[in-house]
Amino acid sequence: MSKAETGAGVRKRKEGRGGGGQEAAVSKGKGREVEHWGSRFGVVMAVAGSAVGLGNFLRFPGQAAQYGGGAFMVAYFVGLLLIGLPLVWVEWTLGRKAGQAGFHSSVGAFHHFFGGKYGKYLGAVGVAIPVIIFMYYVVIEAWCLGYACNFFAGGIRFGDAGEAAGFFRNFVGLGGNGEGLRFGLQSVGVFVLVTFLVNFVLIYRGISGGIELFCRYAMPLLVVLAFVILVRVLTLGTPDPVVPQNNVNNGLGFLWNPTKVFLEREAEAGQWVREKEVVGGAGEVEVEREALESSLAEKNGGGRVVVRVHEVGVFESLQNPDLWLAAVGQLFFSLSIGMGVILSYASYLRKNDDVVLSALTASSANEFCEVCLGGLITVPAGVAFLGVAAVSAMSSTFGLGFHALPMVFSKMPAGEWFGFLFFVLLFIAAVTSSISMLQPGIAFLEEALRLGRKASVSILGFVTAVGAFFVLYFSAGLKVLDTLDFWAGTFLIFVFAGVQVWYFGWKMGVGEGIKEANRGSVIRLPFFLGWVIRYVSPLFLGVIFVLWVATNVFGIRFSGGKSELSGYVIDLFVKPDLGAWVGVGIIGLFVSLVLLLASNSKVYKHFAGGRNKR
C-alpha cells in the first residue's frame, strides 16, 4: 500500500452511483466527500476512547466489590469471551462492510444488509441509543469537570459523608426541579455549557481532524494520569493507625478476594441476617465479630446476640443470577457494544483495513484501563480511608465517584491536587466517550438528508441541547437521567445487540461473516468462533436479557428478598412521575424522528438487499 494511502490526515473519496470502483452508491448525481481514519493507531485510540469512560473507573469497581470480587471477575471474563469479544468483532465487521457500500449510519447499514422496506427501521435504534445517552452523559461529564475545578480552587474538603452528600446535592440540584439550571462554581450549569462546547468543537472538526486527533493524545494522557494516581493509592499503606483494618491491602482484598467473608447475626427461627462484609486475617475478622456482637447486644438492651462468620466462595457466588446480570451489563456499558458507535466508526475504514486485530487491540486497551487501573484505584483508596462498611454503602457509580472519593481526597495529603487530577482523568475519559456518541447521529443526518457536516452538527447540537435541558431541569431525584439510562442506555442496547448478532450468525451466515472479518487481517478469527456467534452468543444474550427484564422490570429477586415491580414501572404506571414520563417521551420522540427521516429519505429507496436498483 502506498504512502499516500497510509499516511495520517483526512482521507476522502467521492461517492457517486457506481463511481470509483465502489459498491453501490448512496446518492444520484452529485457525489459527496466521505472521511476516513488517518491511521490504524488513530482508529484504535478512538474506539478505545469510546469504550473507556466513567464506567471503567467508577462503575466497574463498585460492581466488582458488590458482587464478590473474584466471582464477579469469573462471570465478567466468561461474558467477555462468549459475548463481549464476539459482538465487538461482529460490529467492526458489519461496520466496515456497510462503509464499502457508502453507508455510515446503522440505518443505512441495516437497510443495505436486510434490503426491502424494514431494515432501515431496525437500524434506527442504533442512531437513537448513542444520541439519547449523550443527552444525560454530557451532564455527568460536566459533574466531573465541576468537581475538578472545585478541587483546584480548594472548594472541596469534606469532614464526613454528610458534607460530601450535601455538596453533591447542591451541585447537581437534587433539592428540586429547576435547581440544576443554577450557575456558579458550585453549581453544574456553567460546566454543562463548557462541556457542550468542547464536545461540539471536536465533533465539528470531523473524524480525523477532530475525533481521531483528540483521542491520539487524550488516551495516552489518560493512562499517564491514572498511573500517577495509582502509584499514590498503592503507597497509602494504613493512613490511620488507630483503625489498622482500614488499609490498602484490605481494600485490594475487598475487591479481588475470591472468597467473601460476612458477619451474620442470628434472627428468629434460626435464620441468619447478613450485617456486614469484613476483610483481613483470621485475627482481624474475629475482632470485628466480637465488636459487632457487643454493639448489637447493647442495642438489644444487654440481651445476648449471636454473630457468626460466614464465608461465601466463588461457586456459591456464581449461582446468583444478579451477579451475571451485573457482569454482562458492565461489559455492554464498557465495550460500547450494542450502541451503534463501533458500527459507525468502523464504516470509515477502507476495504482491506484490519478489523480483527484493531478490534482486539481497542478492547484490550479498554480492559486494561478498567481492570488494571480502575479496579486498583477507586475501592482500595476508599477502604484505606473510610473502611469496608462505608465503601459498601456507597458502591454505586455516583456514590463512589462523588461521595466516597471526594472524602478520600479530603483526608489525603496533597489531596486537592490528587482530587483535581482524578476528576480531570474522569473528564477526559468521559469526553472520549461522548464524542463517539454523536458520530452515529451526524452520519445519519449526512446520509439521510444529504447534509454537510456543519449543518448536521448544528441540528444534532440543538436536539441534544433540548434533551440535556430536560435532564438538568428535572434534577430532583435525577428522574429523567435515570429513566433515559434505563430504557435507552440498557434496554435498547440489549435489543440492538441481539439484532446484530442474529444477522451476523443467521442471515448473513457465519461463514461469510468470518470471511469478511478476516479480509485484510493480520490475525484470523478461529473457525469455532462462528459456532459461538451463531449459537452460544445469542443464547447467552437471550438468557441474560430475560433475567434482566425479570429483575429490573418485574422486580423478581433471584437472590432472595421480596419481589415487587421495579421503580421504573411504578414511576410510569403505578405512581406516575412527571420526570419519568418526560424521559420516556424524549426517547419516543427521538426514535419517531429518526424513523420518520429514514422512511422519507430518498437515499434508502435506491437499495434492496445490497444491490443498486437501476
The answer on 113 and 165 residing in a single domain is yes
How many angstroms separate the Cα of 504 from the Cα of each of 95, 348, 447?
A: 12, 20, 23
The answer on 177 and 297 residing in a single domain is no
The answer on 283 and 181 residing in a single domain is no
Q: What CA–CA distance (Å, rounded) separates 309 from 186? A: 44
- Let me know: does 524 contact 518? Beta carbons within 8 Å: yes
Last residue of a domain, one of 312, 339, 374: 312
In a domain, 21, yes or no: no
**What is the reported pLDDT for 85?**
96
Q: What is the chain's length?
A: 614
* CA R_g for the chain: 25
State the residue for C-alpha cell 420522540: 589
Asked whether the CA dihedral 190, 395, 418, 230 is positive or negative, the reply is negative
Q: What CA–CA distance (Å, rounded) separates 84 from 205? A: 31
User: Could you tell me the three cell numbers for 338?
Assistant: 450494542
The answer on 354 and 431 residing in a single domain is yes
**What is the reported pLDDT for 400?**
86
**What is the reported pLDDT for 607?**
54
- Let me know: does 352 contact 520? Beta carbons within 8 Å: yes
The answer on 235 and 272 residing in a single domain is no
Q: Tens digit of pLDDT for each residue in 441-471?
A: 999 999 999 999 999 999 999 999 999 999 9
Q: Tens digit of pLDDT for each residue in 276-324?
A: 888 888 888 898 899 998 998 888 887 888 999 999 888 988 988 889 9
In a domain, 522, yes or no: no
**H-assigned helices in 400-452:** 405-411, 415-448
- Ranges of beta strands (E only) in 323-410 are none
* pLDDT beneath 50, residues of the chain: 1-31, 608-614
Number of domains in the chain: 2
> The CATH number of the domain where 213 resides is what?
1.10.4160
The answer on 99 and 180 residing in a single domain is yes
The answer on 431 and 288 residing in a single domain is no
How many angstroms separate the Cα of 334 from the Cα of each of 33, 312, 329?
A: 32, 27, 9
Q: What CA–CA distance (Å, rounded) separates 486 from 493? A: 10
What letter would DSSP give residue 565?
-
What is the enclosing helix (H) or strand (E) of 526? none
The answer on 560 and 433 residing in a single domain is yes
In a domain, 101, yes or no: yes
**What is the reported pLDDT for 341?**
96
In a domain, 185, yes or no: yes
**What is the reported pLDDT for 356?**
96
In a domain, 517, yes or no: no
In a domain, 5, yes or no: no
Q: Tens digit of pLDDT for each residue in 243-269?
A: 888 999 999 988 888 888 999 998 877
Give Cβ neighbours of residue 462 (< 8 Å, ≥ 6 apart): none
Structural domain boundaries, residue 289 = 260-312
The answer on 122 and 179 residing in a single domain is yes
